Structure 1
Amino acid sequence: MLIICLVKGVPAKTTQVVTVSGVLRREEMELVLNPHDVKAIEAAYYVKKTVGGKIVAMTMGPEPKLVPIMTDLVEPREESKYVPRISFEGFDERIILSDRRMAGADTWATSYTLACGIKRYLQNHFEAVDRLKEVVEKASVDESLKLAEELYEQNYLPHHIYSKLPSVKNSVFSRYARGEVGKEEVLAELEKYRMRLSKFIILTGMKTSDGETGNVGPQTAEALSQMLGVTIPSIAFTRDFEISPELDHVIAERRIGSVIQRMRTVLPCLLTIDHHYEPRTPPATTQRKARAYSYPHRLDKPFVWNADYINADPSKLGLMGSPTIVGPGYEIGKPPTQKFVGETLVFKRDVEKLEWNGKTYGPFKKGDPVNNLPKELVDSLSAQKVVDVFTLEDLVEEVFGGVRVVARAV
């Protein structure tokens, strides 16, 4: 089974967020794994231990900043700068979607890009199986075994199809090499495997720490449904789920307010994992079969795919493909400052800029306190009555807009 886990690199500190014209400059920030993705990773590990397969992490963003995160996800470390502590053995494969054309994407453009990446990942596996079926049908046993070994080493075939493990002696191609099965049986098994590939699962975190929408998961399912021509059901707020060992269905549980819902869906599907999720313990009866349906390698290096490789439409990527319109910013005021009547020096009028000893200061608004200016400059401004002590009249003007006569004794 293909277990696709969508993860994201988020700014390590929100105080270091860098934007230019509304586009988040992730390449200029230190990124870490989105903490909400931890539950999705734990869910992916539960699925692998239950039904076998391989876990692939897919993310989008600047390659140099995401490689350290992906490196720590292949073999989790106790102390990682980029990844929190997670109870799992590591990802089998990792894919980074990285292209300057993807920058500035809103949730819909992000979902479209991820869907293109997932489609390409599935396509690579289907093409590998189809290629092997063609060789089995037309070529000799030795040629078939040679290609099967090549695809096995590339992580396209699980152990039950081809294996070098001593514990797996009855793989499809082992029996084919011994003459125990013929071409028809091998082709039938490969077709079953191809059908099994189509029953994949996508797991995502509930949201990201740098955004509260939680829309990327469901929107990715929608975009992928349109691309594949097959409905990909999505279930959000998943607090618990179980998957059928035969890949017939998934039963998910979620809470909406005070209502607990249990839903049954077919595969393929997408689950958005809630932060309350706790992974189940896979039944011991499925462990052996799960190992047979797992893949041979945990690849050391992540794949880096650009927009051309995933056949993405450039007009639907990044800022160009984002239907969200970000309006102009509004001045909501400065942080409150403490001023004392009769003590604090403030500007008595607006000042655009001040030049002093080769340095530029300002601009300043009327009422701004005089902070961090050279003493000589402050003395000069005081002599010009540009700055002076904060008075009671200044306070009344700030609070009430000035003193007005509202009544007069006759």
Structure 2
Amino acid sequence: MPQLSRADNSLLGRWWWSVDRWTLGAIGVLIGFGYIMMLAASPAVAERIGTARDTFILKQVGFLALAAAVVVAVSLLSPRDIKRLAIVGCLLALVLTAATMVVGVEIKGARRWISLPGMSVQPSEFLKPCFAVVAAWLMAEARRSPRFPGRIIAFVLFVFILLLLKSQPDIGMLAVITAVFLAQLYIDGLPLAMVGIALAMIAGGGVAAYTFFPHVRSRVTRFAEGTGDNYQVTTALEAFGNGGLLGRGPGEGHVKDVLPDAHADFVFAVAGEEFGMLICVVILSVFAFIVLRGLLRLLREQDHFIVLACTGLVTGFGLQALVNMASTLHLIPTKGMTLPFISYGGSSVIAVALGMGMLLALTRRRSRDERL
């Protein structure tokens, strides 16, 4: 590919010199780790369930290639186009999430997926980035036009999403979207007293989830007391211990042979056993870099919509990574949440790519006219 000049006025040339190439490179590193971890973890899982060894690899290679294309394609859009994409995506994701209650596939007691030829789609994954941008737009419009009830509409939409996620149930996704919405409200100027009330409501919601959802109560009890079936977490912790500082070496780990979700929810444990603590620190650092880089770029941003939208996008991205790694390390109760770009899963990786593409699009350097 020829080197792009700063004088190149083509769409690709303008994009290359205006996009945050550091964040783009960090996303590329995570996608690279995704390829490596699929090669390391998925053949053993596929063999254990009686399918071809390369089944998960071929699927995830396609998903990751599509994710890279989505990141680039979405990052080419203008802020106005990002708003339109988010509105359409949010409405479609809401309809499909509601449809899971009727035509969804039940897995482990939850209806979160719609079965399609060759794969299952989890529509709620796409609610995270799309709702973050839609809520930011509504709040920004409310500040621009005081008569426009943007905050009320955003809150009603948020409550509707919570009801849908509670019905599936998907408490982890509900918690992440709640945290994203509260972060946006705080940046939008929510008084500290209201922040305290919101935190109290979250605590109350946690108690309610513990009381009314047996699987939540079971996970919390096992975590707090260290009793019951902690097989996956215990095995994951042993994998980290076996890996040590530098790991046992590629293909030499054993955790992937015994953990059912070694290629998905517990892929971080496979990385720890085969590549060691140093690679785990590198992965953690890349996630932290993307989050901090995204927030730091907002310090000089004047557009309120962009500030709110990017805050929501990086908060959701960072929380998803944190929940996965912390549950694998037994720092919090286990939660079936993927590690962005690294865990196996088509819906997750495409939804995360959509969110990161939106982040790159909104943080591009633009003239005043280009921001419209």
More strand by share: 1
Who wins on radius of gyration, i.e. which is larger? Answer: 1
Q: Same fold (TM over 0.5)?
A: no
More helix by share: 2
* TM-score when normalising by structure 2: 0.22
Structure of greater relative contact order (alpha carbons < 8 Å, 6+ residues apart): 2
